[in-house]
Amino acid sequence: MTRSMLRIALLFRILCAGAACAVLPAASGIAAPAAAEKVIIDTDIGDDIDDAFALAAALNDPRLDILGVTAAWGDTGLRVRQLQRLLSIAGRADIPVAQGPATPNTTPYTQKRWAEGQPVPAAPAPSAVDFILDQARRHPGQVTLISLAPPSTLGALIDRDPAGFAKLKRVVMMGGSVYAGYDDTGYGPLKGPTPEYNIFSDIPAAKKLFTSGVPLVVMPLDSTRLKLDEVKRDLLFAAGAPMTDALALMYHQWRHLNGWGQITPTLFDLVPVAYVLDPKLCPTTPLRLVVGDKGETTPVAGPANAQVCLKEDKEGILDLLMNGLLAQH
């Protein structure tokens, strides 16, 4: 370091002892750190296992300012307890948990025993609809809603206050099937789109969302068939950190109770979280998507209503998950 550089560094320290340090980066050409992205995560954690991994990736990443997590779809009361337990293990019990509207649900709640390890809250969780609207009004144009669930809560938001819903910065969601479906492996010719679970589960709410005018970033099946193979699972589950131990327990309950005979998880919901952290991991294409009566999401001619990721960086997204979780060990 040259003498002039030492003088600059010393001057910086002196200035930062007072109020001037707040304006020094702009005046001196030193880049200020990027502000963390304000997000709310809406999740149906507890049925499939991908929500738990997506939340684990998000919780301790300093690039996210998580304003709250909301429980959506099915038994939202039990999902609240599962979220509270996971947040406590992550050392993030400061993050509010809110409860979305409960709905019928035939999908097995595979992680029920793990969720029931959290005591019933002494007071009911606040309403997710009220919570999201309040945050959108407090931070207009700044809040990204990450949707990892059927859009039942989002439909209720639009019904309650479409103008308040429009104060969100955007919705980044896992949902839909544009050119690829569940039967596509990523190898060989595409077999074609199929109705995707989140959209199919609440078609009326999905229709409201795609016509709401709120900016949408969509990760359909085309870009979310991301497998967590046995090698990566073993590395995570052997780490012995509180979060990886929790993921191991939830994984094994899911493995035995999922009803689909699955052993290797597909981390659909990790992709929208990864996109918010690093958009280069899932570049998007502007499309106009229409939700059909059978839950299909069909691209049609006309002005785009969504930015859609059709091809993800699989290894980059998995690296984000693995490095983030193993760094905690």
The DSSP code sequence of 29-67 is TPPPPPPPEEEEEEE-TTSSSHHHHHHHHHHT-TTEEEE
Q: For the chain, which ranges sit under pLDDT 70?
A: 1-33, 328-329
List b or e across 238-257, with b for residues whose CB sees 16 or more CB atoms inside 10 angstroms.
Answer: ebeeebbebbbebbebbeee
The per-residue pLDDT for 228 is 98
| Residue 50: both structure tokens together | 């991908």
Question: How far is C-alpha 253 from the geometric centre of its chain's CA atoms?
Answer: 22
Cβ 73 vs Cβ 105: under 8 Å = yes
70 forms beta bridges with 42, 98
Sorted by where each begins, the domain ranges of the chain are 37-326
pLDDT at 328: 67
Q: Nearest to residue 108, comparing CAs of 258, 279, 282?
A: 258
- pLDDT for the residue 26: 39
The fold of the 37-326 domain, in CATH, is Inosine-uridine Nucleoside N-ribohydrolase; Chain A (3.90.245)
Place of tokens 């969780």: 125
pTM higher than 0.85: yes
pLDDT tens per residue, range 259-308 = 888 999 999 999 999 999 999 999 999 999 999 999 999 999 999 999 99
Cβ contacts of residue 225 below 8 Å, gap of 6+? Answer: 180, 182, 184, 185, 186, 266, 268
Residue pair 46/71 in contact (Cβ under 8 Å)? The answer is no
- What residue ranges in 195-300 does DSSP mark as E strands? 216-219, 284-291, 297-300
Q: What is the DSSP track for 64-96? A: EEEEEEEE-SS-HHHHHHHHHHHHHHTT-TTS-
Q: Residue 185's beta-bridge partner residues?
A: none
